[in-house]
Amino acid sequence: MKSPCLLLATLCLTMSAAAQTICIAHVNMIDVKKNVTLTDQTIIIDKDRIVATGPGVKVKVPADATVIDGTGKYLMPGMTDAHIHFFQSGGLYTRPDAMNLTAYYPYQQDQEYVKKHLGDLMARYLACGITTVYDVGGPMGNFDIREKANHDTAAPNAWVTGPLVSTYLPQRLDENDPPIVKVTTPEEAKALVQKELPHHPDFIKIWYIVYPGHKADSTLPIVKAAIAESHANGLKVAVHATQYETAKLAVAAGADILVHSVDDAVMDPGMLKLLKDKQVLYIPTLKVMGGYYRAMTQIQPFTTHELAYGDPFVLGTLTDLQHMPGAYDYMGTRASIHFPDKADTIMATNLKLAQQAGVLVAAGTDAGNIGTLHAASFLEDLLAMQEAGLSNYQIIRDATLNAAIGFGKEKDYGSIEKGKIADLILLDKDPVKDLHALGDVSLTIHRGKVFKKEDLLPVTPEILAQQQLNAYNAGNLEAFLAPYSDSVKIYDQTSGQLLLQGKEAMRTSYGKLFKVAPALHCQVVKRIVSGNTVVDEERVTGMQDKVLTAVVIYTIDHNKIIKVAMGM
């Protein structure tokens, strides 16, 4: 029989935080300020605030509290992605200035998808334990998104700015509500900052791009003007400056945040001292270019985490080049581009140097760019920080407290302390020992409300069909099998013959297929969804010179694919 505490925990997990007072008892709590894990801690939450923390024997549990048993589990602050863009989907068609595929898929259609599925995007962040995001530049519509997010408990805290004050204008992006605005004089830079002020931006963003053949200081007066006007109005300034010279000039001019790594030169002691002395927040975004490379070469596989937590339909677009002849020479790009490249090595080196020098570092992904999926990409950036030489404690702090400090939000966010907003995540395993534990959040507590992954990300028959298709194209056997019932049956449509029965039989059969045909690619030519049935017309390439076409009928029950009928 379950203990009363466990019964209460079960009740809590089935009711998305109906209680006003919540107690998390007997949990291992990660103190991100001291880089220690405190055992047998009890945390009391009243409404949206933490009202008490301490050893279980000293903290009195209110009689009306809903108790979550944290025995053997690990509690840490909700995480922060300090660099995202809501106006970008993360899919193949979201940056036509980088890959112009508008002849195949209109850019406006990508934009409409983002707007229509904003609620799902937000839920994915919470499901991944990310309770705060910073959108570092987008259209004026960002301010409406912030308003919605910060009044919706099932969305992360969203701090935003408007259009980037830019020294460069990319082509083919939205001209009606542009995410990036080019300014050519200090006066124009000041005017653009002033235009954003009525919307109460949380900070201002500058895109400090230097044209080839020009000196780094050629547009510095513009940068200085934008920084001065922002600071005069009490706003921090985030700057995109990936070159050593532009980064150094921006920081000397007063930039508060560098939203990317310096990627063209290793930072010297003088630069590191400047960053530390100026208390600049350094956001490395180590993996974003890898997302572009993955799309442009079609060879970097998706992780199991991405396949489980990424928007399956956005993720699915990232392999579309394989059935779009003439759209983009990904085979030629594959032969000419290699990753990780020199810039990746420099970024990793600079991150380690910055962390060692005491520079304030925060985790960020640049989510929304091609191949960098909202929410699902965050874990990969954390693992890249680990590969760069950071300790797990350092990474956990970089993913929580440091962003709050850097953006001036540490009074309410970033650590588990009395008086702070109750943004917490509960984990089954210790992330200090294994960072992969952050990829499987047991539950998220956001503003004092409790959320489970399955409630945040309910599956539909179409989602299941798409998830297994994405995993098939990625050659990821475990992710491919995940949507299937253990007792799934696969039939030949014409004869009715049972071809395979059970997930283990599938594991054997498809495991061999993925090994002998690593270039497998399945295109859905047409899809019909009716109730619990999905009918796909599929075209499969990558099996030597064969092109196979088939109609496949998926039957779903209890959120699993229980039957597949295949007709060639």
Tens of pLDDT along 152-200?
A: 999 999 999 999 999 999 989 988 999 999 999 999 999 999 999 999 9
Confidence at 486, pLDDT banded by 50, 70, 90: very high
**pLDDT number for residue 16:** 42
Q: Tell me which residue of 271, 198, 277, 184 sits closest to 235, measured CA to CA.
A: 198
Lowest mean pLDDT among 39-48, 168-177, 478-487: 168-177
Residue pair 205/238 in contact (Cβ under 8 Å)? The answer is yes
**pLDDT number for residue 9:** 42
Confidence at 2, pLDDT banded by 50, 70, 90: very low
Is the pLDDT assigned to residue 11 strictly greater than 50? no
Confidence at 301, pLDDT banded by 50, 70, 90: confident
Average pLDDT, integer, range 370-381: 98
Q: Which residue has the higher pLDDT, 412 or 543?
A: 412
**pLDDT number for residue 168:** 92
Is the pLDDT assigned to residue 504 strictly greater than 90? yes
**pLDDT number for residue 553:** 98
**pLDDT number for residue 88:** 97
Tokens matching residue 347:
């970024």
Task: Measure the CA–CA gap between 181 and 184, rounded to whole angstroms.
Answer: 10
**pLDDT number for residue 12:** 43
Amino acid at site 296:
M
Over pLDDT 70: what percentage of the chain?
A: 97
Lowest mean pLDDT among 6-10, 186-190, 352-356: 6-10
Tokens matching residue 67:
């108790």
Confidence at 13, pLDDT banded by 50, 70, 90: very low
Residue 461's CB: how many other CB atoms inside 10 A?
A: 20
Looking at the DSSP assignment, which residues form a beta bridge with residue 80? 132
Confidence at 407, pLDDT banded by 50, 70, 90: very high
Residue 244's CB: how many other CB atoms inside 10 A?
A: 19
Average pLDDT, integer, range 205-234: 96
Average pLDDT, integer, range 374-382: 98
Is the pLDDT assigned to residue 271 strictly greater than 90? yes
Confidence at 116, pLDDT banded by 50, 70, 90: very high
SS3 76: strand
Beta-strand relationship, 257-258 and 498-501: unpaired
Confidence at 8, pLDDT banded by 50, 70, 90: very low
Task: Measure the CA–CA gap between 342 and 315, rounded to whole angstroms.
Answer: 27
Task: Measure the CA–CA gap between 308 and 215, rounded to whole angstroms.
Answer: 45
Average pLDDT, integer, range 380-405: 98
Average pLDDT, integer, range 467-479: 97
**pLDDT number for residue 140:** 97
Task: Measure the CA–CA gap between 260 and 272, rounded to whole angstroms.
Answer: 15
Contacts with 138 (C-beta within 8 Å, 6 or more apart), sequence order = 85, 86, 87, 160, 161, 162, 163, 179
Residue pair 285/366 in contact (Cβ under 8 Å)? The answer is yes
Please write down the long-range contacts of 478-482, taking CB distance under 8 Å and 24 or more positions apart: 478/304, 479/302, 479/304, 479/307, 479/308, 480/510, 481/506, 481/507, 481/510, 482/308
Cis peptide bond prior to 96, omega within 30° of 0: no
Confidence at 17, pLDDT banded by 50, 70, 90: very low
Is the pLDDT assigned to residue 325 strictly greater than 70? yes
Arithmetic mean of pLDDT over the chain: 95
**pLDDT number for residue 338:** 81
Average pLDDT, integer, range 31-53: 98
**pLDDT number for residue 210:** 93
Confidence at 4, pLDDT banded by 50, 70, 90: very low
**pLDDT number for residue 175:** 87
Over pLDDT 90: what percentage of the chain?
A: 93
Task: Measure the CA–CA gap between 36 and 33, rounded to whole angstroms.
Answer: 8
**pLDDT number for residue 339:** 80
**pLDDT number for residue 121:** 97
Is the pLDDT assigned to residue 148 strictly greater than 90? yes
Average pLDDT, integer, range 486-491: 98
Confidence at 300, pLDDT banded by 50, 70, 90: confident
Tokens matching residue 369:
């760019």
Contacts with 83 (C-beta within 8 Å, 6 or more apart), sequence order = 134, 136, 259, 260, 283, 285, 364, 365, 366, 367
